[in-house]
Copies of this chain bind each other. A is one copy, B any other.
Amino acid sequence: MALKDAAVSVKDVAALAGVSVGTVSNVLNRPERVSPETRDRVSAAISELGFVRNESARHLRAGSSRTVGLVVLDVANPFFTDVARGVEDTASAAGLAVILCNTDEKTAKENSYLDLLEEQRVRGILITPADEISDRLTDLRRRGTPVVLLDRKATGRDQCSVSVDDRKGGDLAVTHLLDSRHRRIAFVGGPTSIAQVADRLRGAKVAIKRAGLPDDALTVQIMEGLNVASGRLAIQQLLALPKRKIPTAVFCANDLLALGALQELSHQGVRVPYDMAIVGYDDIDFASAAMVPLSSVRQPRHQIGRTAAELLIEEADDTGGHKHRQVVFEPELIVRESSTRTRRA
């Protein structure tokens, strides 16, 4: 049995098995080239010493590592954990580990993680940028680290991305509310510097315009963050408007906001959906599990992650034939109780 201070290397294994280090390496990597007896002897030595390969040394020689980086805005958002699972499934099937990094929407944190990942020589990086596509990211790619954008469409054709048509999603949500006779609608979102928020708002405006309504039929409420607390606050502010300006429906840029809104409305005795309808975005699991099941725009979260990881692996393993692709999924509106006035007075 190996002792605590062992630090066993191929050399030790080779010595114990009475072979050369090259042979040990062959047993590990191309066992068919080694005679059965030798192979057994080496295997025995490996388990006796408790030998564990040193990935850094392999990697140093090989030039490429077995990890990919996944950089997201917020791991606490169920949307991203689901995407992460998709990434992990694909990556681990390919024998790759995932380093999950959390930026909290801060460019500074994003940059320091990118440095770290590049120093680790990760095979590639999946990222939902906190802001504009930074120079840091461009440099990274130029130096040879593949980057796939996640939940954000690449602007050019020279880069892979996997996203969902957020404009269409915003359009779907608001069109649904308009179809349900709502004429005063609020959009509740986070900072528009986040591309997803900006696009969903844009889609909402398109729907309003198509219906021939004036611009002010849509009240735009921009909050600090995309979380539950901001959702509650947004409702407080909306309910404080002059009575005839209070919307009859709100479309929230994500489900965390929508859940906060739902809670605050209930708290204030406003009935959902009878007095006010709500549509969220992402269709996280908690949306259908909410007390008033939440209508929401569904995104194929898991598939976004899987596809992005596939593109990344394809680009990383590129033998020359890689074509950059911009995959765009279609959002789907899931109508639940929070926006259907079946028993309307």
Contacts and interface: CB of A to CB of B under 8 A. Distances in A.
B100 A55 contact: no
Interface residue range, chain A = 35 or more
A243 to B, nearest CB: 26
Contacts of A143: 2, 4, 6, 8, 50, 52
Report how many copies the assembly holds.
2
Contact of A81 (B57, B81, B97, B115): B81
A34 interface: no
A119 B53 contact: yes
A291 B290 contact: yes
A44 B57 CA distance: 30
A92 B98 CA distance: 17
A280 B19 CA distance: 60
B118 A52 contact: yes
Given A85-B75, A119-B54, A291 B289 contact: no
Interface string A39-53: 000000000001011
A262 B291 contact: yes
A99 interface: yes
A121 B60 contact: no
Contacts of A285: 76, 228
Contacts of A76: 78, 81-82, 85, 285
A2, A92, A100, most chain B CB atoms within 10 A = A100
A259 B289 contact: yes
A50 B145 CA distance: 13
Contacts of A266: 291
A102 interface: yes
A217 B79 CA distance: 40
A285 B1 CA distance: 47
A219 interface: no
Given A143-B2, A291-B262, A120 B81 contact: no
Contacts of A2: 139, 142-143
A115 B52 CA distance: 8
A81 B8 CA distance: 35
Contact of A142 (B3, B84, B119, B120): B3
A143 B78 CA distance: 37
Nearest to A109: B92
Nearest to A6: B143
Please provide the 10 A-B residue pairs with the shortest distance between their CB atoms, ordered closest to farther: A291-B291, A55-B119, A100-B100, A56-B56, A56-B59, A76-B81, A56-B60, A55-B120, A228-B289, A263-B289
13 contacts: A2-B139, A8-B143, A54-B119, A55-B119, A57-B60, A76-B78, A76-B82, A76-B85, A97-B101, A97-B120, A228-B285, A290-B290, A291-B291
Interface of A: 1-8, 50, 52-57, 59-60, 63, 65-67, 75-76, 78, 81-82, 84-85, 88, 92, 97-102, 112-113, 115-116, 118-121, 139, 142-144, 228, 259-260, 262-263, 266, 285-286, 289-292
